Structure 1
Amino acid sequence: MNKKIIALAVAAAAFGTQASAVELYNNDGSTFSIGGHVSISAKGNSDVGSNTDLISNSPRINFNATQDLGNGFTADAKGEYSINYLNGGEESFTTRLGYIGVSHDTFGRAVGGTQWSPYYDVAGIADMPIAFANDFLYDNHGALGTGRAEGMVSYRNGIELGENMALNGGIAIQDSQTGFDTRGQVTLALDISDFMVGYAYNTGDRDVGLTSKEEAVSHVISAKYGSYGNGLYVAGVYSMNEYMHTTANYNIDKFSGPVLDDSNGIEFIAAYAFANSLNLSINYEAVESNDKAVVDGTVYSQMAFQAEYNITPSFVTFAGYQLDLGNDQNETENDMWNVGVRYYL
């Protein structure tokens, strides 16, 4: 297996997504750490109403452990929970992630539980900025397995094809959820130095309406260059879907609306991080429908201009302005802005 990939996987389990996570214990091959982040920002609409809301931008806390099992095997476990500190604590500590994994440099990595899916490994490469990022991945992502997949068992492995070149793949099966049957997915990604190209396939039946059941299928192709937050980063994602998307814009109305029998999702981001840690980005996203009975054309399209600046490695300020580029649902255009700070534990 690509040792860089396995090292990153185990490091993510031990320290979360930020190096500033606090390691509380490290002895005899066992580690335990606490990570996560809290944010606060002002978010408002430029075209629909004039209210400004104070929001928390997906705050979370995670508990991470690793254990050296010997013979090259490492076990890891993560529990990550949403925290609600702006609305009186309602629905605090709801599960975002919860899994156990076992990794080996040769035999790969197996994970069971609620986890970031192999599909997201390929499709989530443009889902980077804090304020505005990839919305269509989160349309019922837990049940469809396109983001944080619930009830999933996955396996990842890869082979090194030469210096700075590796072919990585993943497979996963996901148990049935309410309204969704058992699902499966497979991914392939070719890494060549700072470049990556990937493909993902996701399939499984879902309920459509009160009496119909249809196969929800997604094909994704993606490509990227660089590492987000380190110089130039460019990434693009294109998805071809049947019964995957609804008519909702996740950023505004979450999962409402009928399911589209044929749709495409597009996401593109270009970012540049300067040596002083200022990271400027522009991203574009659209969902196009070919379902003439529901929406024949654009479900939503938007473009955001964003900036992030690390005052310290753990304290980040961010700002973004998202332009609504229109739709064919006769919905009012709704430009949005978001300004705030994030503190990584």
Structure 2
Amino acid sequence: MQNTKAVAVTAIALGLTSFTSSAIEIYKDKENALSVGGFFGVNYLVADDYDELANGASRVNFEFTRELKDGWTAFAKAEWAVNLVTSNSDLIVNGDGRLSPGAADDTISTRLGYVGAKHDKWGSVSLGKQWGSIYNVTAPTDMLNAFGAEAAGSFNMGTDGGYTGAGRAEQAIQYNNTFGNLFVSVQMQATEENVEIDEEFLANHLPEAGIPGTIPATDLEITYDNSYGIAAIYALPFNLTAGLGYNIAELEVTSESVGMNETLDDTMTAASLTYGSIGNYGFYAAIVGSVTENHELDSEGRLIDATGLEAVVTYRFNNDIELLAAVNTLTADESDNDYEMSYYVAGIGYYWADDFKVYAEYKMDDSTNVDGSESSNGDMLAIGARYSF
């Protein structure tokens, strides 16, 4: 039982609850191994006066391992996002009236890329763009087919969480190890990323800077400095797993023309409780709660303190039909701010094979703006298919 729990907690901690797949081994000898994995997915999205065929977060990865001395193993992974449905290029009308495609942008982009070494006793050290330590806590609810993972803070401000280290952390150094039923992850981001920003945006997003209205500066700069994260996942009895994590990133806002030099802490604290394993037959449930400061934006584009909640329940029957229900809610903590991003998801899927799934999900939006008015996000239906490998 102890070994089974240790395996389960390590799987969850490595983010394997998100989109189950089984990598294909394409080469192996006594010392080296190479496998390819990922999935291809496409969604048909339908809303009021809107329909679109959209990429379903498709990705391809290559994973390498090499046996070293003294029980150590070197590893490396490279993963790319692949846009299956469009090249993101513009159609250009030439002088002769014909159409020609413009330059493609982000048809293929980097999701992950890291290298490291691991040992059964001493754990692993890895460097590069990788899942952040705190994502080990929030991963159990990031498993819907088309929606979700918007409230806990992993992918704040519509990014992949790379700058803050909460999602796919960029330029990260990470240590991971498992001690019996306990998995521990510690991370530092050695980064200094500049963000382009104009005066009006800064005035709205960073009221703490104390400069009201439009700022007459031409040299405003926001820099994400080093960030730090820590997480712990523990396997409990009755197929339960609990997680707790903390992440902090430093923001520096400077402008010589107005004599401004402000430092803000972007913080995120998250806890999770999980039952079962996603994709397996039977019942699966997960809940993630988070408290953040200077981490999310409200409907008017202001940086806020917020409380997030994500919850998922699924049941896979023996006939391979799966039902799911989920909720995502992000609420501003300020008393004079009524902003809430809130929606519910109901879905059904069918595992035509363990690595091929068709599904439908309906998203019911119940969001409100800063002034308490109803959001215009609207409901949406997604019908899609995913082939995992």
**Do structure 1's residue 72 and structure 2's residue 71 form an aligned pair?**
yes
Residues 21 and 39 of structure 2 are in contact (CA less than 8 Å); yes or no, is this contact kept in structure 1? no
CA drift at 1:6? 9.6
Q: How does 1:224-235 map to 2 (within 5 A)?
A: 224-230=274-280, 231-235=282-286
**Do structure 1's residue 321 and structure 2's residue 362 form an aligned pair?**
yes
Which blocks of at least 5 consecutive residues in structure 2 are unaligned? 88-103, 195-222
Residues 131 and 318 of structure 1 are in contact (CA less than 8 Å); yes or no, is this contact kept in structure 2? no
Residues 188 and 227 of structure 2 are in contact (CA less than 8 Å); yes or no, is this contact kept in structure 1? yes
CA drift at 1:93? 2.2
The CA distance in 1 between the partners of 2:128 and 2:345, in whole Å, is: 33
In structure 2, the partner of 1:153 is 173
**Do structure 1's residue 269 and structure 2's residue 319 form an aligned pair?**
no
Secondary structure of the structure 2 residue equivalent to 1:219: strand
Residues 123 and 237 of structure 1 are in contact (CA less than 8 Å); yes or no, is this contact kept in structure 2? yes
Of 129-138 and 237-246, more deviation after overlay is shown by 129-138
CA drift at 1:213? 2.8
Once the two structures are superposed, what CA deviation does each residue of 1:18-58 show, in whole Å capped at 9, x if it has no partner?
A: 22x32210111211122221111211224xxx120110111
In structure 1, the partner of 2:264 is 214
Once the two structures are superposed, what CA deviation does each residue of 1:87-125 show, in whole Å capped at 9, x if it has no partner?
A: 235322210000012211110121111011110001221
Count of matched residue pairs: 324
Q: How does 1:186-335 map to 2 (within 5 A)?
A: 186-193=230-237, 194-207=239-252, 211=260, 212-230=262-280, 231-247=282-298, 257-260=301-304, 262-292=305-335, 296-329=337-370, 330=373, 331-335=375-379
The CA distance in 1 between the partners of 2:20 and 2:62, in whole Å, is: 12
Which blocks of at least 5 consecutive residues in structure 1 are unaligned? 161-165, 249-255
CA drift at 1:303? 0.5
Q: How does 1:120-131 map to 2 (within 5 A)?
A: 120-131=135-146
Identify if the C-alpha distance between structure 1 residues 127 and 271 changes in structure 2 by more than 3 Å, giving closer, same or farther: same
TM-score (norm 1): 0.86
CA drift at 1:323? 0.5
Alignment RMSD, CA only?
A: 2.6
The CA distance in 2 between the partners of 1:145 and 1:41, in whole Å, is: 28
Residues 182 and 204 of structure 1 are in contact (CA less than 8 Å); yes or no, is this contact kept in structure 2? yes
Amino acid of the residue matched to residue 66 of structure 1?
Answer: T
The CA distance in 1 between the partners of 2:279 and 2:136, in whole Å, is: 18
Of 148-157 and 203-212, more deviation after overlay is shown by 203-212
TM-score (norm 2): 0.77
Once the two structures are superposed, what CA deviation does each residue of 1:184-224 show, in whole Å capped at 9, x if it has no partner?
A: 01112221241111110111212469754311111111111
Identify if the C-alpha distance between structure 1 residues 275 and 5 changes in structure 2 by more than 3 Å, giving closer, same or farther: closer
CA drift at 1:291? 3.1
**Do structure 1's residue 138 and structure 2's residue 141 form an aligned pair?**
no
Of 282-291 and 184-193, more deviation after overlay is shown by 184-193
**Do structure 1's residue 97 and structure 2's residue 112 form an aligned pair?**
yes
Match of 1:106 among 121, 139, 142: 121
Amino acid of the residue matched to residue 189 of structure 1?
Answer: I
Identify if the C-alpha distance between structure 1 residues 17 and 31 changes in structure 2 by more than 3 Å, giving closer, same or farther: farther
Residues 208 and 259 of structure 1 are in contact (CA less than 8 Å); yes or no, is this contact kept in structure 2? no
Q: How many percent identity over aligned positions?
A: 26
